[in-house]
Structure 1
């Protein structure tokens, strides 16, 4: 898909608007190869083809999680990054509530050379809207 950029003065205005809204770092956190559709994320997770890490915070986990998801709050991601496999043959997906935090959180594993990590677009809010199964977290 080819995207046409608006004229430079409009791009400048758009960039300023993004910066003012505090969204620029999130919007630029990852490229298209780093994102997986929510449908594909669910299929891969349920078939055991990927590890799903729910990076929402503990209070958010209490609302329900995908069965079998590993719970790793974003606030603990740096300290607990050893829990994320770095084996290129082991696909890993990050999921949050929408995709804003998971796309931004992708920077941490990437900084440490983890090329096998991507994020699910749509997050658990999209999962819940679709009526997909959710369970109470263990513990």
Structure 2
């Protein structure tokens, strides 16, 4: 009985993994705990997703906290957004009416190479195009 049960779970784990389901989604679907799914994925050599971004990042000796809108913001001083701070620190001032855009769409990726500055109208247009896709 145990070997047959494991083969059923093996198939289920692999199918859920292939669909990109989270550990919690897989656990709920199969009827086991999230920790059980974690161990099963590890045991089968299935690569786990990278963890969610931490709730804060340190840059230039300052602490930026993840906000509910998905951006990191300075929690002291002027409470500016991290991507804007990085742009101004490493590149130049942001002109009035311009926005800093994350090239890869990942709001937690505030590397200089992932940022570009556009006029607000262009920035809005790009996001509208992305939403339509």
Scaled to the shorter chain, the TM-score interval is: under 0.3
TM-score, normalised relative to structure 1: 0.19
Whichever of the two has the greater Rg, that structure is 2
TM-score, normalised relative to structure 2: 0.20
Greater relative contact order, per chain length (Cα 8 Å cut-off, separation 6+)? 1
